[in-house]
A and B are shown apart, each in its own frame.
Chain A
Amino acid sequence: MDLSYSEEDLAFQADVRGWLKDTLPADMVERVKTGKRLPREDFLNWHAMLRSRGWLAQMWPVEHGGTGWSASQKAIFDEEVVAAGAPRVSPFGLNMLGPVIIKFGSQEQKDHYLPKILSDEHFWCQGYSEPGAGSDLASLKTKAVRDGNEWVINGQKTWTTFAHFADHIFVLCRTDPNAAKPQEGISFLLVPMDTPGVEVRPILTLEGEHEVNEVFLTDVRVPIENIVGEENKGWTLAKYLLTFERTGIANVGNNKASIKGIKAAARNVMKNGKPLLDDPMFAARLGKVEIDLMGLEVFNNRMIAAAGVGNAPGAETSLLKIKGTQVLQETNDIMRRAAGPYAAPDLPEAFDPGWNGEAPGPEFALRAARRYFNNRKTSIYGGSNEIQRNIAAKALLGL
């Protein structure tokens, strides 16, 4: 047993770290680290940098232009990227649709879509959740009916992240309303957003930001060949995609950066003339979550090692999601509390790139409450933590 990184992994880590240092533009890092609203161009520029290094498609096998990375390489990369202040990779085309097309798509679909995902000619979003289908995704009602050589789609999707940036959406539709079980009779369809009948309306999240949307589909017509996999077998694809959504679910890199941020912030906040960081009550909460993160990191690495190269992780990822989001939300809570009274003033304009106004209190305090509220989503999305407990109870405990 050896819990340290191998020589190869350490060399890879140094390579990634050096490359990020040389490649990331300072203004982009500044925007990411200060939590600015990132323009679409930042994602596209970041993708272009990764593309030129051959590091864009991290979940794809080498023969399709992917990195073919081992799970530990992926984990190292994720951690370095967060630490360096790079944007996230927009996951919908690269990490979700790509693997689905590689596994279930026709040769024509692979030839057509994969290069366009890689080149960013297509910007994808995910049409899964509906107003009446959240945790119970299989109860979705958006329907698609065949009419000659076309599918006609009617329904409504929600929580669609980046639909306002995207030019394509993959949509789970009910194609057989009479199937014996709700999981049967679902199909996986690809829809250009400029098709007549597609309408995107913003949803403002509780802190007032626009990340997610509603997508209305009214008599939307797409060619019959826009189905991936077999008709009425879309649930298999939907589940396969969700296993990729689960990789990196422990959020180790984010959590480490979050704790580093708390320490930097609390060193400069004074309580009774002493740094908050040295306050015993504050230090105790921070110490506990630091320890929890040490356990989470090893737990995550154990699961990565158990899955092996190229395998989707198993039901244990449900445990990682629960613990990972608990740690993240706890760090966010500690950060919000560290801001003290200055957690309250809210300056939405401060998150516009190029803002050079003055924060009323400590600079970090501008983000503290927003981030806390925004990340309440993490225990809800991707299968709520209660759904994860249902999955683990059934799959791991046999209950």
Chain B
Amino acid sequence: MDFELSEERQMLKDTADRFIREQCTIDKRHEATKSDEGYDKALWAEFCELGLAGALIPADAGGFGGTGEDISLVFEALGRGLVVEPFLPTLLASVPLAGAGRTDLLEQAMEGGTQLAFAHYEPEGYYTAEHVTTRAAGGTLSGRKAVVINGATASHLVVTARAAGDATDTDGLGCYLVESGAPGLEIIQHKSIDGPHVAEITLNNTPAEDLGQGWDAIERTLSAGALAVSAEAVGAMEVAKDVTLDYLKERKQFGKPIGANQVLQHRMVDMLVELESARSVVMLAANTFEADRHTREKNVSAAKNTIGRAGRLIAEETIQMHGGIAMTWEYIAPHYAKRIVMIDHLFGDTDHHLERFIALSRAEDA
């Protein structure tokens, strides 16, 4: 067993941490989420220049990372800085694009020139990954995609659709490339409660290129996403915990710091227990992301379920232990709490991943 980072990854981590600490202020984030794109274009360009987008993409697709460990390392750093720049949609789209050998697009994306999005979930599908009713026929797509991150800004969208089969069959599913501005493409953008812009997308006989990537690629894409936001949650929970701890030491009531109260001390320790436990499962999921499909999926579901439970505790306790100040837009802690809670709504929530973990675990016992 070895818990040390390799020299290259330690450098990547140091670079990411330093840049995010110095550049990603909450004021910049507020400005960015008010903009049309939902992120800071100049900041994204700098991120790309530093190579942080390239760290999400495998070497054979033109990047220099793309493993579970790279993904979790980058996203944990992003979580600490509450970064809204489009790392997640870039990561998601990169999986099928890399599988299809579209290094041209990926190179443009990691240099910051091209914006990507991955459009998969549908209005009637809840979190069921196999549920796709968007139809692929005759080189065009028709259907509706829900809550697509970066959907309105992306110049290239990877859209999942079905060439055959019923709504929840895994056979017949594929990934298709759609360019923004294509005929029959309608995109309505919304702000989100925790940061990045999202879009409702309708396709009506919209021309699309078949990337030749099926269910395996889709499942791996969603897993990469679940791992990424789990790691992001670890970073965000760590900061939420630290900010709360500082407040407990500073805030005085009844003539002493509120942290002198044992009831708050013990709850703070419980937050730490859950944070370190969650960090541990995420490490496991990251470290086994290149293992066989069963191990990968089971460990990612374990991580996402843990993050859902620990995240809710830490987010709610962050607000409660601060008191009124954490109910204000002005203060930093509630923005972390919001992001941590809303991560539960990406790639399947706490219950979804518990159910999935149980099914995978039972398959092992049988």
Contact = CB atoms under 8 A, between A and B. Distances in A.
Interface of A: 1-6, 9, 72, 263, 277-278, 283-284, 286-288, 290-292, 294-299, 301-302, 305-306, 316, 318-319, 322-323, 386, 388-390, 392-393, 396-399
Nearest to A301: B1
Interface in B306-363: 306, 309, 354-355, 357-358, 361-362
Nearest to A318: B269
A153 B287 CA distance: 56
Contact of A283 (B4, B69, B358): B358
B266 A298 contact: no
Question: What's the dominant secondary structure at chain B's contact region?
Answer: helix
Interface in B1-51: 1-6, 9
A1 B3 contact: yes
Given A1-B3, A287-B361, A295-B281, 12 more contacts: A1-B2, A277-B362, A291-B281, A294-B299, A298-B283, A299-B279, A299-B280, A306-B3, A397-B245, A399-B245, A399-B249, A399-B260
Interface residues of B, number: 43
Contact of B287 (A1, A278, A287, A299): A1
B265 A397 contact: yes
A389 B270 contact: yes
B262 interface: yes
Contacts of B362: 277-278, 283
B273 A398 contact: no
28 contacts: A1-B6, A1-B9, A2-B2, A6-B1, A9-B1, A72-B1, A263-B365, A283-B358, A286-B358, A287-B355, A287-B357, A290-B302, A291-B281, A291-B306, A295-B277, A295-B278, A295-B281, A295-B306, A296-B277, A323-B273, A389-B269, A389-B270, A393-B265, A393-B268, A397-B245, A397-B272, A399-B259, A399-B260
Interface of B: 1-6, 9, 69, 245, 248-249, 259-260, 262, 265-266, 268-270, 272-273, 276-281, 283-284, 287-288, 299, 302, 305-306, 309, 354-355, 357-358, 361-362, 365
Give the 8 A-B residue pairs with the shortest CB-CB distance, closest first. Answer: A298-B280, A393-B265, A299-B280, A295-B277, A295-B281, A287-B358, A389-B266, A389-B269
Contact of B272 (A263, A298, A319): A319
A302 B280 contact: yes
A386 B266 CA distance: 8
B354 A298 contact: no
A392 B280 contact: no
B302 A291 contact: yes
Contacts of A288: 305, 309, 354
A9 B2 CA distance: 12
B304 to A, nearest CB: 10
B259 A305 contact: no
B249 A296 contact: no
B277 A399 contact: no
A302 B3 contact: yes
A297 B272 CA distance: 16
A1 B361 contact: no
Question: What's the dominant secondary structure at chain A's contact region?
Answer: helix
Contact of B269 (A4, A72, A263, A322): A322
B270 A3 contact: no
Contacts of B284: 3, 294-295, 298
B269 to A, nearest CB: 4
Nearest to B351: A284
Nearest to A291: B302
A386 B260 CA distance: 15
Contact of B276 (A294, A305, A319, A388): A319
Nearest to B354: A287
A399 B265 contact: yes
Nearest to B69: A1
Contacts of B265: 389-390, 393, 397, 399
B277 A397 contact: no
Given A287-B357, A288-B305, A3 B272 contact: no
A5 B287 CA distance: 13
A5 B2 CA distance: 9
A294 B269 contact: no
Contacts of A386: 266
Contacts of B277: 292, 295-296, 299, 323
A83 to B, nearest CB: 16
A3 B276 contact: no
B1 A305 contact: yes
Nearest to A319: B273
Nearest to B72: A1
Question: Which one of A263, A290, A388, A399 has the greatest number of beta carbons of chain B within 10 Å?
Answer: A399
Nearest to A322: B273
A305 B3 CA distance: 7
A72 B287 CA distance: 18
Question: Which one of A284, A286, A292 has the greatest number of beta carbons of chain B within 10 Å?
Answer: A292
Given A284-B358, A299-B277, A392 B269 contact: yes
A2 B1 contact: yes
A42 B4 CA distance: 42
A290 B305 CA distance: 11
B272 A392 contact: yes
Contacts of B245: 397-399
Contacts of A72: 1
Nearest to B9: A1
A18 B280 CA distance: 30
Contacts of B287: 1-3
Contacts of B357: 287, 290-291
A397 B358 contact: no
A393 B260 CA distance: 10
A69 B357 CA distance: 35
B302 to A, nearest CB: 5
Contacts of A390: 262, 265-266
Contacts of A322: 269-270, 273
Contacts of B2: 1-2, 6, 305
A152 B27 CA distance: 71
Question: Which one of B249, B265, B277, B365 has the greatest number of beta carbons of chain A within 10 Å?
Answer: B277
A9 B279 CA distance: 24
B280 A296 contact: yes
B227 to A, nearest CB: 14
B280 A4 contact: no
Contacts of B260: 399
A296 B365 CA distance: 21
B349 to A, nearest CB: 14
